[in-house]
Amino acid sequence: MNKKILVTGGTGYIGSHTVVELLNKNYDVVIADNLSNSYQSVVDAIEKITGVKPVFEKTELTDQEQTQKLFEKHSDLAGIIHFAALKAVGESVEKPLDYYHNNLSSLINILRGALKHNISNFVFSSSCTVYGQPDVLPVKETSPIQPALSPYGNTKQIGEEIITDFAAANHFKAILLRYFNPIGAHPSALIGELPLGAPNNLVPLITQTAIGKRPLLKVFGTDYNTPDGTCIRDYIHVVDLAKAHIIALERMLENRQKMNVEVFNLGTGNGFSVLEVINAFEKNTGIKLNYVNTSRRPGDIEKIWADTTYANTELGWKAEESLDEMVLSAWRWECHLKESF
Ligand code: WQD
């Protein structure tokens, strides 16, 4: 009998790639998503890639009754991977109540369901934004947590605290995964980053500019204290990130955890600047990108990249894909979108 896993936010960017990896490893998957920032057609794309159609339950996870019904219908879950959240840093500054309500009440409803149905294997989608601008780089899991720079980042910090307190009270197991900058798309080009409306993130804006959906790309700031003056981030291929979730889940399923709650940085350990990403895109696609240098974007930190030692040695996971493959896969996805719509 295959183990059944609940993936909240499973039609979203990282969630859909994780569902593919779960199905490839013969798990049964239930996706719960409210489709506020994704499309149900992603379920069909996942089926095309894996040959298996995951169960899809349209669910408003901020609604306690709907969430209870979800758990009653699927009371035989072996684990939960919780992605569902609003995640646009800039939007969270404009609409803080939406972010605190959505991200925290959905988490609490999911934890209530997990407690009631005794599901104690819980993977949480966290973020490197909890570190703010680290004083020391690369940043370790033990690096100090800085005051959040946005309500989005604060919901991730508070989410980690809620899970930690809940786990202590209920002998519950959880693994918190702090993502750096996920980019790229599945090699099939059938799933990828598909934001409703205008994207906020660098790479979809690069590919949309290159394909002609946008006239130009703005480079936010060239006066940072970095080699080429632009911000540095630790970009990680979304498939590498997805695979880490399966490894974390199986660490719990096989009782290999050393603490009730464990935290891992999911990055490559390499930092690349905005201009280096643009250059990698131009080199790999042969497309000259139309971009202009503009002023800094409020809220941006200057540079961050991960110390991945703990995830490499303790989790037994290491990111494998290069920046070249990341930008190429993102471009193939953008081209697929153009053919599909
Ligand atoms: C990257 C760099 C921008 C757009 C993201 C997610 C956040 C978290 C961490 C998961 C910055 C520059 C961008 C543009 C630009 N992930 N840029 N022109 O801000 O690091 O945060 O990763 O939790 O949720 O949002 O990513 O892609 O927005 O920016 O110059 O048009 O690209 O200034 O230096 P960021 P990003």
- Given a contact cutoff of 8 angstroms between Cβ atoms, the answer to whether 209 and 215 are in contact is yes
Residue 291 known to be catalytic: no
- Given a contact cutoff of 8 angstroms between Cβ atoms, the answer to whether 82 and 122 are in contact is yes
Residue type, 268: T
Q: 201: CA distance to ligand 1 center in Å?
A: 5
- Full set of structural domains in the chain with CATH: 4-184+235-268+311-315 (3.40.50.720), 202-232+270-305+323-340 (3.90.25.10)
Q: 121: CA distance to ligand 1 center in Å?
A: 30
**What letter does residue 139 receive in the DSSP assignment?**
B
Alpha carbon distance 279, 338 (integer Å): 23
Q: Is the CB of 205 under 6 A from ligand 1?
A: yes
Integer-rounded Cα Rg, in Å, for the chain is 19
For residue 2, give both structure tokens: 């295959």
Report the atom number in ligand 1 closest to the C-alpha of 125. Answer: 23
Please report the pLDDT score of residue 90 as a whole number: 80
Please report the pLDDT score of residue 154 as a whole number: 94
For residue 194, give both structure tokens: 């598909």
pTM of the model: 0.96
**Nearest residue by C-alpha to atom 27 in ligand 1:** 201
Q: Which of 27, 152, 179, 224 is catalytic?
A: 152
Q: Is the CB of 260 under 6 A from ligand 1?
A: no
**What letter does residue 311 receive in the DSSP assignment?**
I
Q: Is the dihedral of CA 166, 56, 336, 217 positive or negative?
A: negative
Q: Is the CB of 323 under 6 A from ligand 1?
A: no
**Nearest residue by C-alpha to atom 14 in ligand 1:** 202
Q: Ligand 1 test: best mutation among 99, 297, 302, 304, most atoms within 8 Å of CB?
A: 297
Please report the pLDDT score of residue 258 as a whole number: 95
CB atoms within 10 A of CB 318: 14
Task: Please report, in tens digits, the pLDDT of each residue of the chain (341 residues total).
Answer: 899 999 999 999 999 999 999 999 999 999 999 999 999 999 999 999 999 999 999 999 999 999 999 999 999 999 999 999 999 888 898 999 999 999 999 999 999 999 999 999 999 999 999 998 999 999 999 999 998 888 999 999 999 999 999 999 998 999 999 999 999 999 999 999 987 788 889 999 999 999 999 999 999 999 999 999 999 999 999 999 999 999 999 999 999 999 999 999 999 999 999 999 999 999 999 999 999 999 999 878 999 999 999 999 999 999 999 999 999 999 999 999 998 87
Specify burial of residue 256 (Cβ count, 10 A radius: 0-12, 13-18, 19+).
exposed
What DSSP element (H or E) covers 328?
helix 323-340
**Nearest residue by C-alpha to atom 32 in ligand 1:** 202
Alpha carbon distance 273, 116 (integer Å): 46
Please report the pLDDT score of residue 205 as a whole number: 97
Nearest in space to 224 (alpha carbons), one of 212, 233, 215: 233
Q: 199: CA distance to ligand 1 center in Å?
A: 10
